[in-house]
Structure 1
Amino acid sequence: MNDVAPSDAHIRSGMFEAACDILAAAVIVYDKNDRLVFASRQVLRYFPIPAETLVPGTRLRDVLGAIFDSGVRYGISPDQRHKPVNREEWISARISAHWREQYDAVERLGRDRWIHFRKRRLPSGYNVTTFVDISEQKKQEEQWRLDLERIALTEEILETLPSPMVVKDRNLAYIAVNRAFCAVYGTDPDSILGRTVWALADAESADRIEASDRSVLETGEPYMLAEHIIRADGSDLYVITRKYRIGAPGHHAIVTVMEDVSAFVAGERAMTDEGDALLRVPGGFVPAQNCFDPVRDAERRLLLDQLNREDVTAVAGKRVLVVTGNPRIEEILVDEFKAKDADSCAVHSVRECQAFLLHAAEQGIVLDLVIVDGDVPDHAAIRNNAYGVPVTVISAEGIGSDFMRVLVEEHELLSEDTSPLGDILTPVPISDDWYIATDITTMLPAAVGDVEVLVAEDNQINQFVFSQILEGLGISHRIAENGEEAVMLWRKHQPRLVLMDIAMPVMNGIDAAKEIRDAEKLTGTHTPIVAVTAQALNVDMQNCMDAGMDDYIVKPVSPEMIEAVYRRYAARKQEKSVA
C-alpha cells in the first residue's frame, strides 16, 4: 500500500503538468502555511529564477524574493515604475494580494510582455495562482488602437481638405466623402454614402463619370480631367479631377480627388498684373455637372425675402428657432442660418414651441428670433409670448408641393386658347419632376430612344447581370434602382424597351408601369414594358397585364432570353421608326 501512494501522486502530478502545458499556463499552488505545494515548469517561462526555488516546501516569501532579485517588478502602478522599489515593501505587498480571496490583474513584465494573473484562495486555505501570457493579444489591441487613431486622424485631415474627395468601392458605390464634396451637392454624407453617382448626377454626367471610374478600376491607369462644375449654390467650381485605383485585387477601390483651382481661374485661365498666365489648361475646362437646383433656390429666396434684412445678414452667433410642419421650410431655413454661423433648430407645432421657450427660459438661454410658418395651426399664440422673443411670421405659399402647384397652374393658364403654346403643353402630376412635355412625334430623333433598354432592378447582383448581358449584346442601357427612378429615366430617355422588376422599394414595378401608361395617354406613344418576375404565378402575370405590360420573363435571366425579348420588341420598334 505504501508503495502505491507515491506512484499515484506522481501520476496525478504528471497529468497536472501536462494540462498546464496544453493550456500554456503557469500554475503555482501554496498551502495554508504559504509553503509551495506545486509549481508547473511553465513558471520558468515567466520568471528567470533558479529551478530549485520551485521545489515543494519553499516559502512564498523566498519565491517572491527570488523573483524580485531576478529584476522582475510586477504589481506596480505605471506612475511608480520609474521610482526605486524597496524589496521588503514589494514582497509584503505581493503577500497581501496573495491572501485575498480573489485577485485578478493584467501586469506588464518588461517592455513588450503582458501577463494575466489570477489568484484564488480556497476554503481549505490553499492558494492557486495562474499566469497566462497575453502579450500577442495586448499587441493586437495596441495595434487596433493605433489603427483607430490613424483612421480618426486621416478622416479629420480629409474633412479639413479644401478640395472635394470621394472613395468608391468596386461596385462604384460611395463609401467615403469629405465635407468639401458634400458642399458641392449641398447635402450631407448620409445622403451620399452607399449610393451611386446615378443618384446624384444627371444621366449624361453620371454616364461619363461612371465610364471613367470603370476604366480606372479595370486598367489601374490614373485618370485626369479639368472640369467646370456648378455647385448647388450656383457658384462656379473649377477643378482638376484625378482618379486612382487602390487596394488589393478583388478589393479595389477608386479614389477621386478634385483639386480646387477656382482661385486661379477666370474663365479658362487667371492672369497676373503683368499679364502672365498663372494656370494654363490645354483645351480649357470641360463643362461638367450642374448641381444647382433652381427650384430650391427659388424657394429659398421666397422665404428669405419675407424676413428683415438684418435677420438674415447679422445672425452670426444668434439663436434662431423655426416653427413649421413643412420639412422643406425647415431644411432651407435651418441650413441657411447654420451656414451663417447661427445656432438654429426647428419645432413642428405651437405646443412644441411653447415647451421649448419655457425650457430655454428655465436654463437661462436667450433666443434672438422665432420664425413661424403661417400654416402652423394657432400660430398667433406664439406672437405674444411671455418671454419677449421677437417673432416673424412667414407665408408658406409657393414652398414644397405648393411651388410645383403654382408652376402647373401657370402652365394650365398658358395652355388655354390664348396661348400659342396651348397645343404642346401638357399638365404633369405634382409628384413628378417638373418638365415641359412636347408632342413626341415632333421631337428630334436624338431626343427619342437615345437609350435602347431601361432596366428597373433594385438588386445589385441582378443589376450587374443585366449590365453584362446588355453590354455583351452591344445594347445601350440605363439601370434604375426603384420604380420611381424608372419613371424618371423613362421620361428623360424614352427607351425602346423597359425591363421592369416587380418587387422594388419606393415604387414597385406594377405602379411604375401604370404611371408610364398614364403618361403615354397624353403623347399617344407606347413603350414596350416586359415584367421581370421571380416566379411565374398566374396572379403575377395577371397583375402585369392589368398594369399595361406587354410581356413577362422569369428570373434568372440569360443572354438568349434578353436577346429574344429585345428582338421581339425593341428591334421591331426601331425598324418601324426607320421606315
Structure 2
Amino acid sequence: MNDVASSDAHIRLGMFEAACDILAAAVIVYDKNDSLVFASRQVLRYFPIPADALKPGARLRDVLGAIFDSGMRYGLAPDQRHRAVNREEWISAQISAHWREQYDAIERLSRDRWIHFRKRRLPNGYNVTTLVDVSEQKKQEEQWRLDLERIALTEEILETLPSPIVIKDRNLTYIAANAAFCAIYDVDADSIVGRSIWSLADAESAERIETTDRSVLETGEPHVLAEHIVRADGSDLYVITRKYRIGASGHYALVTVMEDVSALVSGEQPMTDADDALLRVPGGFVEAQNCFDPVRDAERRLLLDQLNPDELHALAGRRVLLVTPNPHIEDILLAEFKARGADCCAVTSVREHDAFLALAAEEGLAIDLVIVDDNLSGHEAILENGQGIAVRPIAPDGIGPDFMRTLVEEHELLSDEGSPLGDIVTPVGFSDDWYIATDISTMLPAAVGDVEVLVAEDNQINQFVFSQILEGMGVSHRIAENGEEAVMLWRKHQPRLVLMDISMPVMNGIDAALEIREAEKGTGTRTPIVAVTAQALNVDMQNCMDAGMDDYITKPVSPDMIEAIYRRYAAEKPQKSVA
C-alpha cells in the first residue's frame, strides 16, 4: 500500500512540475512552521542558489539567507537598491511579507530582470508562492512610457513652432494641427482633428488638396507650392507649402508645413539671393483654401456673383461703403473687400449712409463705390440718388442662419419655373459639393451613390469613432453635424445607408428622417435609415419607426455593430423601383 501511495505521489509531483514548465512559473510551498515542502525546479532559474538549499524541510530563513548571499536584493524601495543592506533586517522584512495573508508585487531582481511575486497563506497555515518572469512585459511598458514621452515632447514642439503644420494619416484624415495653423483660420484643433478636407473646405479646394496629398502618399515625392491664403481676419498670408510622406509602408502619414514669406512678398523684409530664389516660383502664388466653412463659402459666392467682376478685380486702393442691416453679410463682404486691398466700412441704415457721405465730403474723401442690400428699408432712395457715386445693389435673400434651408426650399418650390437664385442651385454654376436636386434622375452621375454611408452625428468624438470604423471597413462616407445638414447631404449623395443620431441641434434625427421620407415620395427610391440612440427606450424606438426609420442601434457603437448593419442594409447597391 505504501509503495502504491509513493508511486501515485511521484506521478502527481511530475505532473505538477510539467504544469510549472508549461506556465513558465516557479512554485514554492511552505508549511505552517515555515519549513519547505516543495520547490519546483524553475526556482533555480530565478535565484542562483545551491540546489541543496531547496530540499524539503529547509527553513524559510535559510532559503532567504541563501538568496541574500547570492546577491539578490528584491523587496527594496528604489532609494535603497544601491545602498548597503543589513542581512538580518532584509530576511526579517521578507519573512514579514511571507506571513501576510496575501502578497502581490512586481520586484526588480536586476537591471533588466523583473519578477512577479504572488504569495497566499492558506487556512491550514501553508504558504504558496509563485514567481513569474515579467521582464519582457516591463520592457514593453517602459518602451511605451518612453514613446508617450516622446509623443508628448513632439506635440509640444509642433505646437510651439511658428510655422503652420498639419499631419494627416494614410486615409487623409487630420490627426494633428499646431497652433500656428489653427490661428490662420481662427479655429481650435478639435474642430479639425478627425475630419477630412472634404468636410472642411469647398469642393474645388478639397479636390485640389486631396489630389496633391494622394500623389505624395503614393509616390513619396515631396510637393512644393506657393500659396496665397486669406486669414480669418482678412489679412493676406503668403506661404511656401511643402508636403512630405513619413513613416513605414502601410503606416504612412502626410506632413504639411507652411513657410510664411509674407514679409518678403510685401517688401517689409529685405531679400537675400536665397530669398529671391525661394520666391521665384512657376505661376506665382496660387489662391489657396481660404475658408473651412463650406456654407460660408456658398454664401460668399452668392454675394460676389452679383457684383461686377471687373470692379472686384480693381478694388485695391478704392474706398467702398457697404450698406446692410445684416451683420453676417457685413462680415463676409468686408473681409472679401479687405482681402482685395479695398479701404472699406459698413453702415446699417439709409440715415447712417447719408451722414457718412456728408462727413466724407466735409473731409474731402471721395467714396468710389457703394454696395446696397436690397433688404434695407428705404434702399431705393440710395439707388435713385447716387450723388455721382457708383452704386451696386445686392439681393442676399436667405443668407444667415437659415441659408441652406432657404436655398433648398426655394429650389424645390420653383424648380419647374426657374429659380430666382439662378445658377447657384444648378450643376453648371454651383460647385459639385453643393449640388442640390429633388429629382434623382436629373442628378450628375458622380453625385448618385458616390457615398455609401451618411452619418448624422453632432458629437465630435462619436464622429471620429464612426469615421475610424467605416474607414477600416473601406466604406466611403460623409459626416453631417445636424439633421438639416444630413438632409442636404442625402439629397446630394443619395447614400446607400443613413446612420441617424436622434438628438442633434438645428434639426433632430426624427425630423430629418421625416423630411427624407417625404422627399422620397414619387422618386421610386427608399434609403435605409438606422437610428442611433443613447438608450433603447420603447418610446424612442416607436418614434423612430413612426418617422419611417428601418432599424436602430445604441451607443457606444462598435465595429461589429456597424458592419452588421452595413451588411444588412447596404451590402448591395439599391435598385430603383418602379412606382
Question: Which TM class, normalised by the smaller chain length?
Answer: 0.5 to 0.7
For 1:276 and 1:13, how far apart are their aligned partners in 2? 81
Matched with 1:440 is 422
SS of residue paired to 1:132: strand
Contact between 1:229 and 1:291, CA under 8 Å: does it hold in 2?
no
For 2:177 and 2:274, how far apart are their aligned partners in 1? 38
Matched with 2:244 is 244
Matched with 1:458 is 454
Query: Residue 121 and residue 228 in structure 1: after superposition, are their counterparts in 2 closer, same or farther (change >3 A)?
Result: same
SS of residue paired to 1:109: strand
How big is each residue's C-alpha offset from its partner over 1:263-304, in whole Å with a ceiling of 9 and x where there is no partner?
43327x9535999948533233222122399x99xxxxxxxx
For 1:557 and 1:222, how far apart are their aligned partners in 2? 39
Query: Residue 259 and residue 85 in structure 1: after superposition, are their counterparts in 2 closer, same or farther (change >3 A)?
Result: same
Q: Does 1:151 align with 2:151?
A: yes
- Quick one: which amino acid aligns to residue 287 of structure 2? P
How big is each residue's C-alpha offset from its partner over 1:225-248, in whole Å with a ceiling of 9 and x where there is no partner?
011111111222221111122344
Query: Residue 10 and residue 251 in structure 1: after superposition, are their counterparts in 2 closer, same or farther (change >3 A)?
Result: same
TM-fit CA distance, 1:41: 0.4
Contact between 2:245 and 2:255, CA under 8 Å: does it hold in 1?
yes
Structure 1 unaligned blocks of 5 or more: 297-327, 333-405, 468-477, 518-527, 544-553, 566-579
How big is each residue's C-alpha offset from its partner over 1:468-490, in whole Å with a ceiling of 9 and x where there is no partner?
xxxxxxxxxx9895885589899
Contact between 1:270 and 1:279, CA under 8 Å: does it hold in 2?
no
Of the three residues 397, 409, 412, the one matched with 1:427 is 397
Query: Residue 441 and residue 94 in structure 1: after superposition, are their counterparts in 2 closer, same or farther (change >3 A)?
Result: closer
SS of residue paired to 1:410: coil
Of the three residues 390, 398, 409, the one matched with 2:375 is 409
Contact between 1:271 and 1:277, CA under 8 Å: does it hold in 2?
no
For 2:70 and 2:26, how far apart are their aligned partners in 1? 18
Show the 5 A alignment for 1:103-502.
103-266=103-266, 270-272=269-271, 277=276, 279-283=278-282, 284-291=284-291, 409-410=375-376, 425=395, 427-428=397-398, 430=400, 431-432=402-403, 440=422, 447=429, 452=444, 453-455=446-448, 458=454, 499=494
Contact between 1:415 and 1:422, CA under 8 Å: does it hold in 2?
no
TM-fit CA distance, 1:188: 1.0
Contact between 1:501 and 1:509, CA under 8 Å: does it hold in 2?
no
Matched with 2:527 is 533
Aligned residues: 415
> Could you state the TM-score of these two structures normalised by the residue count of structure 2?
0.59
TM-fit CA distance, 1:160: 0.9
Aligned-pair identity in percent equals 62
Q: Does 1:44 align with 2:44?
A: yes
For 1:142 and 1:442, how far apart are their aligned partners in 2? 59
Contact between 2:373 and 2:379, CA under 8 Å: does it hold in 1?
no
How big is each residue's C-alpha offset from its partner over 1:45-102, in whole Å with a ceiling of 9 and x where there is no partner?
0011111111112222221121111111111211111111222222222223223333
- Quick one: which amino acid aligns to residue 136 of structure 1? E
Matched with 1:387 is none
TM-fit CA distance, 1:219: 2.7
Aligned-CA RMSD value? 5.0
TM-fit CA distance, 1:555: 5.9
- Quick one: which amino acid aligns to residue 281 of structure 1? R
> Could you state the TM-score of these two structures normalised by the residue count of structure 1?
0.59
Contact between 1:222 and 1:243, CA under 8 Å: does it hold in 2?
yes
- Quick one: which amino acid aligns to residue 454 of structure 1? A
Query: Greater shift after overlay, 104-113 or 165-174?
Result: 165-174
For 2:96 and 2:235, how far apart are their aligned partners in 1? 73
How big is each residue's C-alpha offset from its partner over 1:199-226, in whole Å with a ceiling of 9 and x where there is no partner?
3223322221122112223333221101
Contact between 2:116 and 2:131, CA under 8 Å: does it hold in 1?
yes
SS of residue paired to 2:217: helix
Show the 5 A alignment for 1:536-547.
none
Contact between 2:520 and 2:526, CA under 8 Å: does it hold in 1?
no
SS of residue paired to 2:242: strand
Greater relative contact order (Cα < 8 A, sep 6+): 2
For 2:4 and 2:99, how far apart are their aligned partners in 1? 35
For 1:443 and 1:72, how far apart are their aligned partners in 2? 80
Contact between 2:162 and 2:180, CA under 8 Å: does it hold in 1?
yes
Query: Greater shift after overlay, 112-121 or 499-508?
Result: 499-508
Matched with 1:368 is none
